[in-house]
Amino acid sequence: MRNGNASGTADTPGTALVTGAAGGIGSAVVRTLGEQGFAVAAVDRAGAAPEELAEKARADGLHVRAFAADVTSEQEVEALLDTVERELGPVRSLVNAAGVLRAGRACALTAEDWAATFAVNATGVFLVSTAVVRRMLDEGRGGAVVTVASNAAGTARTDMAAYAASKAAATMFTKCLGLEVARQGIRCNVVAPGSTETPMLASLWHDGTGRTRTLEGMPEEYKVGIPLGRIAQPVDVADAVAFLLSDRARHITLHALTVDGGATLGVPA
């Protein structure tokens, strides 16, 4: 089976950097890429660095190292890249999985809610992606970037204005970046999950009906249910990320792959 990305080989896919590695989807991505032979830099903010995840992965024979960095800080991102590439080698694959959610009606959101959401979900994607891609360009190596966005980037949702807008920004930034660096052999794609079994989803459930309403829909919120009748597991998203990083997706770029069980009825993210 082929592995890795256009700049790696079937046997040595190289180094992958995953932000938001302590989160539900991020941790699944770290594990999946480790199982595929990547050396994985599992990155999260200080105090949430996924040390336990990395230790368990190493106990299972996977090459995973935990690193702490704030993706909203240009200085920390550059220092992170210096350390990762010195210790694990050139980053050939990047997964932007860091994300935050400030739920609430648009008119009730504060300026701080808006700024904090965009700082991680959009500016963080910008800072990490450009830092990694500049190094790819400087060294003439190809590579692949996948941004984990959301199906809310293309479908309006109540109580999610800041989140949806930030994910839309991250989606279009990733596509524009991909357009600019395609000739240099760097592919940039998006995975757009829907409802996924993570703490972030659970934070939206305020009573015992949350799971049922997610599956069956909420007409009063103009939200359909999930046609496949199941909530995604983080590994479902991780598998989509791994595919887009792999050579099996070598002719795919500027694409958003929606992983939501049909919840947005095929409308692109």
How far, in Å, CA of 82 to CA of 101, rounded? 29
Tokens in use for 202? 């659970």
- What SS3 class is residue 42? strand
To the query of whether residue 222 is one of the catalytic residues in this protein, the response is no
Q: Which residue in 18, 163, 178, 236 is the catalytic one? A: 163
Q: Are 30 and 95 in contact (CB under 8 A)?
A: no
Count Cβ atoms below 10 Å from residue 63 Cβ, excluding itself: 17
- DSSP track, 135-194: HHHHHT--EEEEEE--GGGTS--TTBHHHHHHHHHHHHHHHHHHHHHGGGTEEEEEEEE-
How far, in Å, CA of 230 to CA of 249, rounded? 26
Active site residues: 163
